[in-house]
């Protein structure tokens, strides 16, 4: 159970079977950094082309297709004070006729935020809007991360799928464990796209984009086959579906949760579905990117009762 | 500001311009009852055909197209101990291939719940499942209610729209105020479809369906034009979009919230959109019915800062 | 088998259970007129508010819920020379980012066409565009027509459903027979919204809108229950689904066609599905309105082989 | 303008930047073969894993990102007599509740067809259905082909995108020229997935799947940037959008056609949109795969008028 300090030198804007940057063992911890969505590092210097550049891939010894890789986020925290966001709602999240009311500019307009990493806040500093010096508490999360897909694929970090990717779900924060279906030897884990804060849906096309310090610990569940990313935190178990429209993302997440309740919690279908019918909670990841994200949650306290 | 006790004698399964059952004034309170989604009353006797039968319509004196009608739910509570739910996930909320794994029966299978109205709980009593005597705290809400749409329409209580209708959103509970766009003289308010408990999405096709005692108070905002249902509770302001796919429901809700922030909270578009981008919260109403429902929420504490 | 000449005096912008304007018998023919989508008649005089105003309802003696009403279009032809269309693509039929490139005007911009009813052509006369005097052959069709829905509903002529409505499908032209599921006593048939020409999708929000002479003949199929509009012409049998997104409209149309092949053409499921898999043809009705329309077609020549 | 005879030795089930199998020049012709969707060759022997295995990639000298690659299908014809199709409609193309009526089998059920390559027909030979010896004329087409996407991506041949891929559009037949946006050096063209016949939508999950002889000729349009696949045949120009839901695929195709009319046919926006509004024709490619396909067509005869 080694701890690896890894300093990235190159980044990928697709998640696929590339040469591993580090080989780690089941139980190992990695301490590393990620650049922001635009490719700028902790000094806000552009070091790689933008588009959610990823740190990795990390090869997990012993991981094979059909296994599950657990990734626990030990620490996720911005490592600089400059953050930026999109200024206007994306045209695909508002009524089509409303789009014509949004200012059309040649250049994509950006808002800028000052992060106070001690106090844990982000304050809007430009442009001048009626929000004034609007300040929000940090809630750091990773927007885009995942494992290499199978079939020789390499999938753009603009989008998402069963392998993870650009899900922009605020539940992917420090203290959460995320489970991925392993599709290639070594799993090949990538991490990137830190957000200091993000609303549901990532509806201006960004969270507060910033470079991050990232520490995670992997563990392998041999022979445990899952179909979509799963997660758990102190209070909930979570499944995630990625697709368009949202309806389909929700179908994936709901089906995966139904399977989870039946295989791991001893429920029959009637029991699992009845519990889901009255207790399920949905949250929405991004509705900005080519594939949208829906998270499906069940309270652990409900499952504890089942014994 | 009178209080009316109204005992319904007939019910509607469409929301439209029907003969009012009661005329009330701005500020008045109504104490009444609703039957369950299947048409059974407080004695669990079938008194009207099923399909979310509505109590009403209530004619609000002075309400005209272009106004907003506020409906505050003073009290929502089941008035009998028998509740029922669907047993299996609806085929439209799971992966199409998974549908073939769900038991296919001639009759729609129903689960039954015993409500303890003193302790505020619901317990699964049949069929026997691995859930055992699964018990949940009550969280009573109305699934279907709204005001008559314009243009001579009468819209089935199976579905929803700008007028409200079958939204099945768990936020529509006691203590919440809901705002509707008035489309006809007198607004013509309908209420029905009480759920003792309901998970997000109403994914088994029901909440815990039960007859209700309902007390509400109306108030009129003359000349205030809104486009979609809005609401507020102690902590949030809320907008609701009803459409398929979910993407479109979300577009409606987001657009309506953007408009609300700009007209009532003094924000310019850049400010409103920036706040929404990093602070919006989405919740999902039903994904079972012909139109799906998305609620868009903003914390009041964020708006208080704006002064 | 009488022929009725009916001159409308009032019009409806919802399809529902209104007082019949004429009672007709099984086999009867009606010769009447329709105003254009904006409510203007054969003299281009506004006679009723816009929004696809309907002529009717026509009560068909003996029609009951569970029957099918066949409506044969004997003649559909414009009765004036002035037509109009939308000028720009609707924002919901193009990429969301492209919407910002479309000119935004306070008033909805309209193009005007001169119809030559002898030669059967329509020529663009304003505004001046690079198309010049663009001339198209007429292909007259009805955009919006249908029968009263059940459950006390009255559905806006902006949208569509199992009852028909605003489908804007170019296959609904002279010589075609359309079948509707009867949902109320007398069926209550409405007709309106003539288009001299229309592209698939009605993507500028209109066909060439014009008032029409309409002649149709009804026949009743007692006890024949269908779920969605069906049609046939010289070459094809057709089913129509109305919903959003298009995926769902296509599901409705495909399911209805599958049922038709099995009940009326002697096919088992494997045969029906195999035929559909390799021979189905889809066409797209409107993608502009609240519900979209997909038509599913099978060549009669393929069915003749089956004997 | 050489003609290359190429015999494939390996196949890919993703479209990406792999080692070219052949380098060809602008204007060159390639004569080659493709295996069927399941990986079986002209002798119906399995030679590679299934999933629309592709022949290629072919490197086109001089092709660079920002160019357009034209691929003319000189000849597309099955090279064996055995074909197969799916037996039942896919669960995602019918109403969710209808899915429960479709037989559920452990193994995916297959229908088999005998092709007569002289007469140009395909006849159903098993299983026994009420269709009997159902015979259809061949209409050979390629279901899956395209060029390598940019950004280091490799995209599964199960799906489609701006790079082409698994579009299953029956218009991609002999005599058609298809245009792709070049995203990598050499374009890297792949071809595969021949269908002897296919209905719109590929709604049983297959056309009549068979191995093919393929002859195509490439030409390069330097510096011509397009965003989605385009095509032309004797009668139409065509654009293709690939996405889910169909609504979005249609938006892509419509936007691309609007751009094409304005850049190449001298139309202003009002002219291009007015022509599209009354003359556009849509066709549906597959609605089975992760991304759906819509083709948007305009008659060349309409454009000839424009001069």
| pLDDT digit string, tens, across residues C12-44 | 999 999 999 999 999 999 999 999 999 999 999
- Low-confidence stretches of chain B (pLDDT < 70) are 307
**Whether residue A148 has pLDDT greater than 90:** yes
B210 and B255: one domain? no
Are the beta carbons of D91 and B104 separated by less than 8 Å?
no
Q: What percent of chain C has pLDDT over 90?
A: 96
Half-sphere exposure of residue C256: CA atoms within 13 angstroms, side-chain side: 27
Q: What is the pLDDT of residues D205-220, one digit of tens each?
A: 999 999 999 999 999 9
Collect all residues of chain A within an 8 Å Cβ-Cβ radius of residue B281.
199-200
Identify the pLDDT of residue C125. Answer: 97
C20 and C152: one domain? yes
Task: Examine residue D186 and state whether it is found in any structural domain, yes or no.
Answer: yes
Among A180, A210, A236, give the residue marking a domain's end: A236
Residue C298 sits in a domain whose CATH number is 3.10.28.20
B149 and B184: one domain? yes
Are the beta carbons of B104 and D102 separated by less than 8 Å?
no
Nearest CA in chain D to A17: D154
User: Which structural domain range is residue B261 located in?
Assistant: 230-306
pLDDT, average across residues C287-307: 93
D108 and D244: one domain? no
Residue C100 in contact with residue A106, Cβ under 8 Å? no
**Whether residue D307 has pLDDT greater than 70:** no
Identify the pLDDT of residue A16. Answer: 98
Are the beta carbons of C96 and A97 separated by less than 8 Å?
no
pLDDT, average across residues D186-192: 98
D175 and D283: one domain? no
Collect all residues of chain C within an 8 Å Cβ-Cβ radius of residue D87.
270, 273-274
Task: Examine residue B133 and state whether it is found in any structural domain, yes or no.
Answer: no
Collect all residues of chain C within an 8 Å Cβ-Cβ radius of residue D247.
92, 244-247, 287, 292
Total count of domains within chain D = 3
Identify the pLDDT of residue C305. Answer: 79
User: Over chain A, what is the mean pLDDT?
Assistant: 97
**Whether residue D138 has pLDDT greater than 90:** yes
Interface test with D, best of B88, B94, B98, B99 (most D CBs within 10 A): B99
Binning pLDDT at 50, 70 and 90, where does residue D80 land?
Answer: very high
Identify the pLDDT of residue C195. Answer: 98
Q: Neighbours of C (≥3 Cβ pairs closer than 8 A)?
A: A, B, D
Identify the pLDDT of residue B242. Answer: 98
Nearest CA in chain A to B280: A199
For A301, counting Cβ atoms within 10 Å of its Cβ (0-12 exposed, 13-18 middle, 19+ buried), the class is: exposed
Stated pTM of the model = 0.97
Q: What percent of chain A has pLDDT over 70?
A: 100
Strand partners, B161: B164
Residue with tokens 């979009």: B241
CB burial string A7-25: b at 16+ within 10 A, e below: ebeebbbbbbbbebbbebe
Q: What is the pLDDT of residues C240-253, one digit of tens each?
A: 999 999 999 999 99
A165 and A101: one domain? yes
Q: What is the pLDDT of residues D247-288, one digit of tens each?
A: 999 999 999 999 999 999 999 999 999 999 999 999 999 999
B214 and B243: one domain? no
C259 and C112: one domain? no
* Distance between CA atoms of residues C55 and C8, nearest Å: 6
Residue D187 in contact with residue D150, Cβ under 8 Å? no
Residue D158 in contact with residue D166, Cβ under 8 Å? yes
pLDDT, average across residues A130-136: 95
Residue D218 in contact with residue D268, Cβ under 8 Å? no
D177 and D217: one domain? yes
CA A228 to chain centre: 13
Identify the pLDDT of residue A140. Answer: 98
Other beta carbons within 10 angstroms of residue A45's beta carbon come to 11
Interface test with D, best of B86, B89, B100 (most D CBs within 10 A): B100
Binning pLDDT at 50, 70 and 90, where does residue C307 land?
Answer: low
Q: Neighbours of D (≥3 Cβ pairs closer than 8 A)?
A: A, B, C
A161 and A272: one domain? no
Q: What is the pLDDT of residues B149-166, one digit of tens each?
A: 999 999 999 999 999 999
**Whether residue C102 has pLDDT greater than 70:** yes
Smallest Cα–Cα separation from A244: which of A205, A201, A287? A287
Nearest CA in chain D to C99: D255
Q: How many helices (DSSP H) and strands (DSSP E) are in chain D? A: 4, 21
User: Over chain B, what is the mean pLDDT?
Assistant: 97
Q: What is the pLDDT of residues C259-273, one digit of tens each?
A: 999 999 999 999 999
Task: Examine residue D131 and state whether it is found in any structural domain, yes or no.
Answer: yes
User: Over chain C, what is the mean pLDDT?
Assistant: 97
Among C233, C268, C298, give the residue marking a domain's end: C233
Residue D230 in contact with residue D255, Cβ under 8 Å? no
User: Over chain D, what is the mean pLDDT?
Assistant: 97
- The SS3 assignment for D274 reads helix
Q: CB-CB: which of B98, B268, B279 is closest to A129?
A: B268
Task: Show Cβ contacts of residue B23 under 8 Å, excluding neighbours closer than 6 positions.
Answer: B58, B59, B61, B186
Task: Examine residue B128 and state whether it is found in any structural domain, yes or no.
Answer: no
Identify the pLDDT of residue A307. Answer: 60
* Distance between CA atoms of residues C288 and B55, nearest Å: 35
Check if the interface score ipTM surpasses 0.95: yes
B144 and B280: one domain? no
Q: What is the pLDDT of residues C172-184, one digit of tens each?
A: 999 999 999 999 9
Identify the pLDDT of residue D104. Answer: 80
Are the beta carbons of D16 and A152 separated by less than 8 Å?
yes
Task: Examine residue D230 and state whether it is found in any structural domain, yes or no.
Answer: no
To the nearest whole angstrom, how far is the Cα of D199 from the nearest Cα of chain C?
4
Q: CB-CB: which of A89, A280, A292 is closest to B199?
A: A280
Nearest CA in chain B to C152: B14
Task: Examine residue D43 and state whether it is found in any structural domain, yes or no.
Answer: yes
Task: Examine residue D227 and state whether it is found in any structural domain, yes or no.
Answer: no
Among C233, C263, C289, give the residue marking a domain's end: C233
To the nearest whole angstrom, how far is the Cα of A191 from the nearest Cα of chain D?
17
Q: Which helix (H) or strand (E) holds A33?
A: strand A29-34
DSSP 8-state secondary structure symbol assigned to residue B307: -
Residue A2 sits in a domain whose CATH number is 2.60.120.580
Which DSSP string corresponds to C4-37? EE------BSEEES---SEEE-TT-EEEEEE--T
Task: Examine residue D91 and state whether it is found in any structural domain, yes or no.
Answer: yes
Radius of gyration of chain C (CA): 19
Identify the pLDDT of residue B34. Answer: 98
B296 and B160: one domain? no
Q: CB-CB: which of A92, A101, A245 is closest to C96?
A: A92
Question: How many residues are listed for chain C in this entry?
Answer: 307
Structure tokens belonging to residue D176: 């058609």
Nearest CA in chain B to D100: B100
Identify the pLDDT of residue B107. Answer: 84
């Amino acid at each position: 159970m080694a701890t690896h300090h890894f300093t990235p030198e190159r980044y990928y804007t697709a998640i696929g079977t590339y040469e591993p940057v580090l080989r780690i063992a089941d139980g190992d911890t990695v301490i590393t950094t990620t650049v922001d969505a635009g490719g700028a590092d902790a000094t806000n210097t552009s070091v790689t082309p933008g588009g959610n550049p990823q740190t990795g891939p990390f090869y997990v010894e012993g991981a094979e297709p059909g296994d599950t890789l657990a990734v626990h986020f030990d620490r996720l925290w911005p490592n600089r004070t400059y953050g930026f966001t999109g200024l206007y709602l994306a045209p695909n999240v508002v009524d089509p006729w409303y789009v014509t009311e949004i200012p059309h500019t040649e250049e994509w307009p950006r808002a800028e935020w000052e992060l106070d990493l001690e106090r844990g806040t982000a304050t809007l500093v430009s442009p001048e809007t009626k929000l004034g010096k609007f300040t929000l508490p940090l809630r750091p999360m990773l927007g885009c991360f995942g494992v290499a897909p199978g079939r020789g694929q390499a999938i753009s970090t603009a989008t998402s799928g069963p392998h993870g990717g650009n899900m922009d779900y605020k539940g992917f924060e420090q203290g959460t464990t995320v489970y991925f279906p392993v599709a290639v030897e070594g799993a090949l884990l990538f991490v990137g796209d830190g957000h200091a804060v993000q609303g549901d849906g990532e509806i201006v096309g960004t969270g507060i984009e910033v470079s991050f310090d990232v520490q995670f610990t992997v563990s392998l569940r041999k022979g445990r086959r899952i179909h979509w990313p799963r997660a758990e935190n102190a209070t909930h178990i979570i499944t995630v579906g990625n697709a368009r429209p949202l309806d389909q993302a929700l179908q994936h997440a709901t089906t995966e949760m139904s399977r989870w309740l039946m295989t791991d919690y001893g429920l029959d279908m009637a029991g699992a579905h009845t519990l889901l019918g009255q207790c399920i909670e949905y949250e929405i990841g991004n509705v900005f990117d080519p594939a949208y994200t829906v998270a499906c949650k069940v309270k652990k306290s409900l499952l504890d009762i089942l014994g």
